[in-house]
Each structure stands twice: as C-alpha cells, then as structure tokens.
C-alpha cells in the first residue's frame, strides 16, 4: 500500500501559476508510449492527450521530474493534459525528430526537470577526465540548478587530495567531494544537499557509480548495479532510462544512464557562469574585436603568458564556446532546411490541387 502523497514528491500548489483545479502528478519515468507518474492516488501510468500535445500544440513534452496535470483514470491509462513550468532542466538537441515522439522538426528535448542539485560524478580511476567535468559544469549551471562535483570510488586510491586540488581549480566555486559508495567514505559531507523535498539529478559516464550511490544513500538496493569492464574500466550501461526515486529520507534522486547524449544545447549562460574566471580577461584588450591570437595589447595572451590564466582552462573555454556555436548553427541550419522542405511540399500540394481544378 502506497502511503506517499504528491507533496512528498515536492509538489506545492505554487508550482501551478494558473492555479487551476485538477489532479496533479510528477513524472517518475518516461517509457516509449507511457509515462510513470506519482499522484495522490498512488502510482499510475499515463499517456499524452493527443489533441493537446500533437496537433501543433505548444505544450512541452513532459520528462522525468516534470509536474503535470492529468485526467485521472482509476481503471486504465490516465491522460496528461498540461506540463507545468520548470524551475530547472537539462535539454539536448533533438535532431532525429523521433525522441520527442512525433515532432519532425529540430527542437529542444528536455531530458530531466525540476531538480535542485546536479551531482556531477566521475570516478577516480581511468574515467578521470577534467575536460568532461568542465563540460558537465557548464551544462549544470545552464540547467538552473546547483552543481556539485563528486569524485567517486575514493577507496581505489590512497590519497584523493591531488585530484581534489586539480578539480577545485576548474570548479570555479562549485563544491568538490571525494566519496566512496563502497566504504561510505565522504558520504556524511553530502548531508548539506540531502534535503527533504529536494531533487538531485546524478550525471556521469556509465560505470562511475551513480546507481551505487543511490543505493548507499537509500540504505537498500533500489537500483541495479553491474561491474565495469576489466580492460578499460568502462561501464556496461546498466541503467537504461532516467528514473526518479523517493528515498526514505524524503530526498528525491533522478538516476540516469551514462548521459553520453547530453549535447551543448544553448549553453552560453552556463559557460559564462562556469568560466567567469576566464571571461574576466575579456573585453579589456586594446582592440575591441581582438581574436586573442596575435593582436598587440591582448589581455588574454598576457594572462596566459604570465601563467595567471592556465592554458588548458582557456583551451576548454574556447572549445566549449565553439561547440555551442556549432550546435546552435546546426540547429538553425536544420530548422531552415526543414522550413524549406515544408515550403516545397506545400508548393507541390498547391500545384497538384491547382492541376485537378483546371
Ligand atoms: N571500488 C568501488 N567500486 C564502486 C563504487 N561505486 C560503484 N562501484 C562499482 O562500479 C561498478 C558500476 O557501478 P554502477 O553503480 O552500476 O554505475 P552507474 O554509474 O550506475 O552505471 P550506469 O548505470 O551504467 O550508467 C559496480 O561494479 C560497482 O560495484 C565505489 O565507491 N568503490
Ligand atoms: Mg546506473
């Protein structure tokens, strides 16, 4: 018997700016055709109401963590009729047009919503990659939530302090902790983030120990875990879909599969925030259009030469900026192409109809 209420899942009436009457729910998982929801009536399965979501509707497709309004059906599938505004989200470019269901244009696809913290996880073995942490940080700042970096499997090395120092340099203010789900080392430091009613999303490559941390925090095996490959320490993609879980402490966790798929969808604000230590050198060069390559009076080059600005930090910044610009251009290019294609089809149909009437 389920004794949880939607309030336990973080719902308050303030989340609905329209203050409508109705039944609300939180999306705990997204399947091919169905959504798993938690409501005051307990868990239920739901589908999207077609007239609202598919016929040129403007309603955003729900994702894991979303609060939605539903038409509750105790005898079968409920219907989702509205997606409530999100306070934070992760998005990616949906170039395929399949992932969002039926949308055929390039659009933003939201993959997790309404979380307070992002645990960026990387293990202290061969997976350790500072560049990937910078990338996740930019995405996390962009999401609207607070990133926290966790270096996992601390039991595998004698002293994590060297890694902690390295990551603190690029964290630009985000907190960094070394933990072990196996021995429990460092888990007490996470209590600051484990607040009843709050939601935390776990990000990181397959095998870093996301589901193991869920289980360690839950004190029970809620998620399946499997060994990484011996040869290259890569994970086996054990978690296959994003899943929101309520722990007995009242904290919610969104466990995710290794999010290889997260692209740099519109992350300029996140890059600005994650790289404010780099961006403070911009705008002070002699020439306002300085490309920071060979121009005289370039403050960026001066900071690089004096060592004040680490070269790898600058390189990461430039690479991520370039990638964002590329992603945005690609989206614009595909949008444009789709628009041209649609215009052609419309023209074709009009010509065919015109032909028949003649
Ligand atoms: N030594 C050690 N091993 C750990 C720790 N945490 C997780 N592992 C192991 O790492 C492997 C992968 O752990 P998972 O929790 O399945 O990793 P995941 O990030 O959920 O992986 P995906 O679901 O594939 O994305 C398992 O063999 C775990 O036992 C840890 O703190 N120390
Ligand atoms: Mg997992």
| Cβ proximity of 68 and 82 under 8 Å | yes
Q: Which residue has the higher pLDDT, 122 or 101?
A: 122
- Ligand 1 atom at shortest distance from the alpha carbon of 257: 25
Residue 221: nearest ligand to its CA? 1
pLDDT of res. 270 = 84
**To the nearest whole percent, how much of the chain has pLDDT over 70?**
84
Q: Which atom of ligand 1 is nearest to the CA of 215?
A: 15
The per-residue pLDDT for 240 is 82
Q: Please tell me the number of Cα atoms within 13 Å of 351 on its side-chain side.
A: 6
Q: Which residues line ligand 1 (CB under 6 A)?
A: 152-153, 155-156, 180-182, 204, 206-212, 225-228, 235-239, 257-258
Distance in Å, CA 226 to ligand 2 centroid: 8
Whether residue 357 is predicted with pLDDT greater than 50 in this model: the reply is no
Ligand 1 atom with the shortest distance to the CA of 206 = 25
Q: Could you tell which of 201, 212, 254 is best to mutate to test the pocket of ligand 1, judged by most ligand atoms within 8 Å of the CB?
A: 212
Residue 209 CA to ligand 1 center (angstroms) comes to 3
Expressed in angstroms and rounded, the spacing between residue 256 Cα and the centre of ligand 1 is: 13
Nearest CA owner, ligand 1 atom 8: 209
For 233-248, what is each residue's pLDDT tens digit?
778 788 888 899 999 9
Rounded Cα distance, 316 and 172, in Å? 13
Please give the number of the atom of ligand 1 that sits closest to the Cα of 183. Answer: 31
CA distance readout (Å), 268 to 120, 140, 168, 261: 19, 12, 22, 18
Instruction: Count CB neighbours of 315 within 10 A.
Output: 12
Residue 320's SS3 state is helix
Q: Which ligand is nearest to the CA of 203?
A: 1
The 10s digit of each residue's pLDDT in 46-66 is: 999 988 898 777 789 999 999
Strands 243-246 and 252-255: antiparallel
From ligand 2's centre to the CA of 40, what distance in Å?
28
Express each pLDDT in 64-117 by its tens digit: 999 999 999 999 999 999 999 999 998 876 655 444 444 445 567 888 999 999
Ligand 2 centroid from CA 122, angstroms: 13
**What is the C-alpha separation between 129 and 107, in angstroms, rounded?**
30
Residue 296 pLDDT > 70: yes
Which run of H or E residues covers position 170?
Answer: helix 161-171
Q: What is the pLDDT of residues 335-354, one digit of tens each?
A: 666 566 556 655 665 666 55
Q: Which two tokens stand for residue 231?
A: 């040869």
Q: Which stretches of the chain are assigned E, i.e. beta strand?
A: 23-30, 35-39, 42-48, 67-71, 78-83, 89-94, 107-113, 117-123, 146-152, 175-178, 199-203, 243-246, 252-255
pLDDT at 307: 94
Nearest-atom index, ligand 1, CA of 237: 24
Distance 257 CA to ligand 2 centre (A): 6
* pLDDT tens for each residue of 199-243: 999 999 889 999 999 999 999 998 888 888 777 777 878 888 889
Structural domains in the chain, sorted by start = 6-85 (2.40.50.140), 116-255 (3.40.50.300), 275-348 (1.10.40.50)
Residue 293 predicted with pLDDT over 70? yes
């Amino acid at each position: 018997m389920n004794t949880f209420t939607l309030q336990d899942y973080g719902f308050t009436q303030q989340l609905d700016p329209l203050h409508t009457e109705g039944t609300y729910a939180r999306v705990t998982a997204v399947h091919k055709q169905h959504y798993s929801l938690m409501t005051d009536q307990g868990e239920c399965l739901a589908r999207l109401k077609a007239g609202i979501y598919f016929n040129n509707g403007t309603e955003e497709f729900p994702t894991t963590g979303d609060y939605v309004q539903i038409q509750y059906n105790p005898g079968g599938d409920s219907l989702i009729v509205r997606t409530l505004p999100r306070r934070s989200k992760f998005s990616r470019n949906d170039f395929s047009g399949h992932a969002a269901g039926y949308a055929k244009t390039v659009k933003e696809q939201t993959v997790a919503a309404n979380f307070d913290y992002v645990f960026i996880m990387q293990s202290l073995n061969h997976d350790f990659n500072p560049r990937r942490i910078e990338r996740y940080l930019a995405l996390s700042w962009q999401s609207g939530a607070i990133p926290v970096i966790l270096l996992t499997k601390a039991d595998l090395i004698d002293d994590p302090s060297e890694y902690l120092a390295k990551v603190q340099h690029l964290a630009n203010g985000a907190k960094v902790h070394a933990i072990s789900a196996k021995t429990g080392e460092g888990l007490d430091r996470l209590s600051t983030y484990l607040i009843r009613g709050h939601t935390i999303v776990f990000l990181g490559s397959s095998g870093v120990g996301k589901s193991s941390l869920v289980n360690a925090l839950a004190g029970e095996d809620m998620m399946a875990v499997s060994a990484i490959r011996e040869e290259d320490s890569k994970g086996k993609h054990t978690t296959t879909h994003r899943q929101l879980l309520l722990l007995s402490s009242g904290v919610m966790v969104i466990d995710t599969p290794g999010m290889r798929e997260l692209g740099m969808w519109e992350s300029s604000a996140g890059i600005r925030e994650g790289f404010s230590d780099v961006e403070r050198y911009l705008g002070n060069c002699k020439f306002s259009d300085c490309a920071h390559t060979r121009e005289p009076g370039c403050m960026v080059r001066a900071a690089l030469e004096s060592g004040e600005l680490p070269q790898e930090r600058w390189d990461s910044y430039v690479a991520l900026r370039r990638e964002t610009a590329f992603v945005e251009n690609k989206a614009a290019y595909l949008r444009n192409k789709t628009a041209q294609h649609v215009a052609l089809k419309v023209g074709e149909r009009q010509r065919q109809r015109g032909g028949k009437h003649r």
